[in-house]
Amino acid sequence: MKTLDRKLLRDARRLWPQLTAVAAVTACGVGIVVMAWSMLASLAATQAEEYARSRFPDLFLRLRQAPDVVGRRLADLPGIDRVETRIVEEVTIRFPDAPPAPLSGRLVSLPAEDGLCLLHVIRGRMPEGLGREILVAAGFADAWGLGPGDRVEMVLSGSLATFTIVGIATSPEYVYTIPPGVPFPDDRSFGVFWLDRRSLAAAFDMEDSFNDVIATLSPGADARDTARRLDAELGRFGGLSAHGRADQSSHRYLVNELRELRNMGFVAPFIFLTVAAILMHLVLSRLVAAQREQVATLSAFGYSSATIALHFAKLVGLVVVAGSLLGIALGWWLGLGMTRMYAGFFRFPSLDFSLHLPVVAVASGVAGLAAALGVARALAGVLGTAPAAAMQPPAPSRFTPAFLERTGLLSALPVSARLILRHLEQRPLNTLLSIAGLSLGVAVMVLGMFVGDAVETLGVFQFATVQRFDRAVAFDDPVAGSALAELHRLPGVTAVEPYRSVPAILRHGHHERREAILGLTSDPGLLRIVDTRGRFHEPRDDGLVVSAKLAELLGARPGDSIEIEVLKLGRPRLTLPLVATVDDMVGTGAWLGIGGMNRLMSEQDAVSGAFLASDAALTHELDRSLASLPAVAASSSRAVQLKSFRDTIARTLLRMRTVNALFSVAIACGVVATTARQSLAERARDLASLRVLGYSRRDVSKILLGEQAVLVAAAIPLGLLLGAGFVMVATQGYDTELFRVPVVIRRRTLTIAALTVLAAAVATAAWIRRSLDSLDLVAVLKARD
Amino acid sequence: MPARAFSLRGVTKRYTTGAGEVRALDGVDLDLAPGEFVVLLGPSGSGKSTLLNVLGGLDSPTAGRVLFHDHDLATDDETARTAYRRDHVGFVFQFYNLLPALTALENVAIVAEIAPEPMPSEEALALVGLADRAGHFPAELSGGEQQRVAVARAIVKRPAVLLCDEPTGALDARTGVVVLEAIARVATAVGATTVLITHNACIAAMADRVLTMSDGRIVAERTNPTRAAPSSLRW
């Protein structure tokens, strides 16, 4: 081994605290990127593979009923590659452990063996023969602990039928299960089942006919044109207008969720990596600068600049490689854990996590580059000085009284305080670098924990401010408003507010969106229209009030006319003005006064359902009564929806938050430790001189730690501001149709961020204090490194 | 062997500082013979260290010629000066400048490794009487021992030029004499042209020639009829 390399190893051993901290920061930066980006790539790859394997359709169409002969002709339509007709029916479900309230569900005919939208049985088997064997969707099965052998009762066309579950399946159509009219996935209140087609047809009088069509497009075919052809063919059978994947609820949610994850999983980790890189840069450049005399000595003896640079590159390489390897291992381990969690959330047959090499390369590359630049900057400074000059100890800085002293404000300061102030002021670059490093530590903490605030704000907004009902009841078909009186009489009901929901295609210019327009009573109290500032908006009879996000998607502004194609037989087309937009947080709603809605639909007092407020003590009685009302197709509970929200979105986001927060704590502590340690290394000589001159250990610690305290005090407010900035950047892309994450940073987050850095500073101070106590005065004065 | 190791003509070095221009060297003319032992005397700021740095290729003059044998160091760039230092020059500094992470032997070896024809590092350490301290780190050595390691490090490459800047400045008289003995012995052993800066006029007795500098010029020059042995020096 070359002597220079031996020096390298010994230096590494001597500088281990700083180098370990730098390696840890590197590991965090690399780890979080490797985890998040690899996971995103894995999820996207899984989605693509599963869509291809299962032949996920391009077009979807619901209709009332059409004979199979019509279905067979569909395959000949231009643009259609494969087509499959199905029977899909909404049902009410009961099973022994089910709650008293009716659970709604969907019964779908099993796909043909080489058909579209193929299922994947993850447990049990496919139903055999005709009759009473069904498959259940994995989400619902998990939510209620159902499995092969369990029995489920369903009300089919008014009569009760019992089925035996023989298998649990996933379908690309239900990666997410979103009940109709609900903004979030909900595996608890809504279940999907598959039954053989002949039994399903027999139960619903659908022999030799179908009510649902799915199709794939031939290569190059235009989706809209083909959808129009399907509509033309099936319109007279009650076809509800064919739609593409973009309007398929699971796909739409999945795409938005992936986008959401990408924003969170891309921007935040990138900020982490950048911060880690900046920190490495700062620490390493100071570390190399501190070796000024050694560099000069080597240079004096004829070592070329390149050899010296290579020597330090090796030292840094050691740190970067160790940190990157650790980061990759950490990222892989965490990615695996996160993927396991997502596997319970995204209902794919399997979700494999794999390390994506480009991601690993980019993350390690950024870390390496930052380190290399840090070293290069410091070496350029040292090598740029002639060796003779570099070998002299740096000329004493020209110290003057500090600014605060000059202003006369602090004339009576003790010497130690003056030393602190002067030192900070006379080495502005080092002071700034230290403050910058520490503030970055605070800032990443804010960024790491912000997601929790966002979820909490979102949850409170949706489930306390917007949704105020205890039960939402949906009828099979619209009923007369007089039926509400019956709901009023149910046990425990304290308020009833009707709604009328109408599925429609909204068009403006060349934009179109499929939405359910919700007709609400004036001054609604149980489902309110609220904007992010907490202002309430009333639905209007003379025009549409829409979510600002929907207006954006339609490219429309208040005053514009919106064309509405109602998705019911005859497909009436109407035009309504857009009268107001509401800057809300969840979904893409469109609202109308219920009177206006009835006029629009040429109905008299028709309602689709109602929101109920009830006495909590009588919930069970209410649910039992609701279950006995034949007109009620489904009833959902705000509490269950809130639980679903907590179990799904909140859980994934919060898990991500925890990981981010842990990384940010590690980074913050790393920064504090390296900054303080480096200050000690740079000032050891001065401090030893002070000790020789008769200063006590306490005095000397006061100087160094006092300096650190000033730096931390300056860095914390700056870091909080910077953290808010990071949050703004990271949430730029959080604006999707599903929800808009509000930039609300809670005081708790700011406090924890500040306290963590403070605690790290105190812990480091104790450690530094110990080093100061064992300062070898003679050695420090003799050795000049 | 040419008659002159160094030939300096009109060597000038100017620095600009906040207080104005400083002439550290002001037209120095000097010839040094191969193997000659020269002591440089003069007050602080007289230009001794600057002259030494120019001779050692640590610094380049603002004007003038610095011929080392037939090669003009004044026109060299940093790469060429680095090569010159690596192949021909040994330095001994007042504050030793040992690498604290390396043992005594390794501090010598680090220079031996890049020199074209070095002597074994152990031999260099033995020449300064420190064979038994080879495995010790600088922090475990006394000041005099550290300086002797620095001397061993300087001569391990068998340099043509040995430049010593106040080698005894940080040492007491007894230790200083030991270091000077080491320098004299190894300089003779490798036949190096040696220039030694000192504030201590007594040390001048061990030189072939004594130059005195003031204000960037050589203001006096004398030749000793015989070189005194370092052990005979007292201060």
Distance CA A48, CA B212 (A): 86
DSSP per-residue string spanning B170-213: TS-HHHHHHHHHHHHHHHHHHT-EEEEE-S-GGGGGGSSEEEEE
Domain ranges of chain B: 34-62+81-232
Residue of chain A whose alpha carbon sits nearest to that of B139: A779
Q: Does position B72 have pLDDT exceeding 80, yes or no?
A: yes
In a domain, A69, yes or no: no
Q: A718 and A758: one domain?
A: yes
Nearest to A784 among B82, B85, B95 (CB): B95
Residue of chain B whose alpha carbon sits nearest to that of A387: B58
Nearest to A302 among B85, B106, B138 (CB): B85
Residues of chain A with C-beta less than 8 angstroms from the C-beta of B111: 301-302
Q: A479 and A594: one domain?
A: yes
Q: A37 and A183: one domain?
A: no
In a domain, A246, yes or no: no
Q: A699 and A658: one domain?
A: yes
User: pLDDT tens-digit profile of B201-218?
Assistant: 899 999 999 999 999 999
Nearest to B102 among A3, A300, A779 (CB): A3
User: For strand A243-244 and strand A190-195, is the pairing parallel, antiparallel, or unpaired?
Assistant: unpaired
Instruction: Identify the domain boundary among A609, A641, A673.
Output: A641
Nearest to A386 among B59, B97, B99 (CB): B59
Q: A52 and A122: one domain?
A: no
A40 to chain B nearest CA, in Å?
46
Q: A654 and A596: one domain?
A: no
| Chain B interface mutation, best of A301, A311, A315, highest count of B Cβ atoms under 10 Å | A301
Q: Which two tokens stand for residue B216?
A: 């960037």
pTM, rounded to two decimals: 0.69
Q: In A, what residues contact B, Cβ < 8 A?
A: 2-4, 6-7, 10-11, 14, 293-294, 296-305, 307, 386-388, 391, 779, 782-785
**% chain B with pLDDT above 70:** 98
Q: Is B53 on the interface with A (CB under 8 A)?
A: yes
Q: Which two tokens stand for residue B31?
A: 């010839």
Residues of chain B with C-beta less than 8 angstroms from the C-beta of A14: 101
In a domain, A690, yes or no: yes
Nearest to B91 among A4, A7, A301 (CB): A301
With CB atoms and an 8 Å threshold, state whether A4 touches B111.
no
Instruction: Identify the domain boundary among A595, A623, A641.
Output: A641
User: pLDDT tens-digit profile of A406-429?
Assistant: 666 655 666 667 777 777 877 787
User: pLDDT tens-digit profile of A506-543?
Assistant: 999 999 888 889 999 988 889 999 998 889 999 999 99
User: pLDDT tens-digit profile of B151-182?
Assistant: 999 889 899 999 998 888 878 888 889 889 98
Q: A646 and A666: one domain?
A: yes
Higher pLDDT, A514 or B18: A514
Instruction: Identify the domain boundary among A641, A666, A699.
Output: A641
Q: Where are the alpha helices (H) located in B7-103, listed in sequence order? A: 48-55, 78-88
Q: A667 and A591: one domain?
A: no
In a domain, A401, yes or no: no
Burial of A259 (0-12, 13-18, 19+ CB in 10 A): middle
Residue of chain B whose alpha carbon sits nearest to that of A307: B114
In a domain, A228, yes or no: no
Q: A561 and A456: one domain?
A: no
User: pLDDT tens-digit profile of A165-204?
Assistant: 999 999 999 988 888 767 677 888 889 999 999 999 988 8
Q: Find the domain containing A47 and state its range.
A: 1-59+252-395
Q: Count other Cβ atoms within 10 Å, centred on residue A79.
A: 20
In a domain, A231, yes or no: no
In a domain, A224, yes or no: no
User: pLDDT tens-digit profile of A59-68?
Assistant: 999 998 999 9
Q: Structurally, how many domains does chain A consist of?
A: 4
Distance CA B84, CA B67 (A): 12
Matching residue, tokens 């400045």: B169
Q: A135 and A178: one domain?
A: yes
Residues of chain A with C-beta less than 8 angstroms from the C-beta of B138: 783
Q: Does position A371 have pLDDT exceeding 90, yes or no?
A: no
User: pLDDT tens-digit profile of A257-311?
Assistant: 777 667 666 776 777 777 777 777 776 777 777 777 788 888 888 888 888 888 8
The enclosing H or E element of A480 equals strand A471-480
Nearest to B93 among A3, A303, A391 (CB): A391
Bridge partners (DSSP) listed for residue A339: none
Q: A492 and A613: one domain?
A: yes
A779 to chain B nearest CA, in Å?
7
Band (A563; pLDDT cuts 50, 70, 90): very high
Class of domain B34-62+81-232: alpha beta
Q: A453 and A487: one domain?
A: no
Residue of chain B whose alpha carbon sits nearest to that of A8: B101
Residues of chain B with C-beta less than 8 angstroms from the C-beta of A388: 49, 53, 58-59
Residues of chain B with C-beta less than 8 angstroms from the C-beta of A302: 82-87, 89, 111, 114-115
In a domain, A615, yes or no: yes
Residues of chain B with C-beta less than 8 angstroms from the C-beta of A783: 100, 138-139
SS3 A375: helix
Which strands form B37-41's sheet, in the order they lie side by side? B89-92, B161-165, B193-197, B37-41, B209-214, B217-223
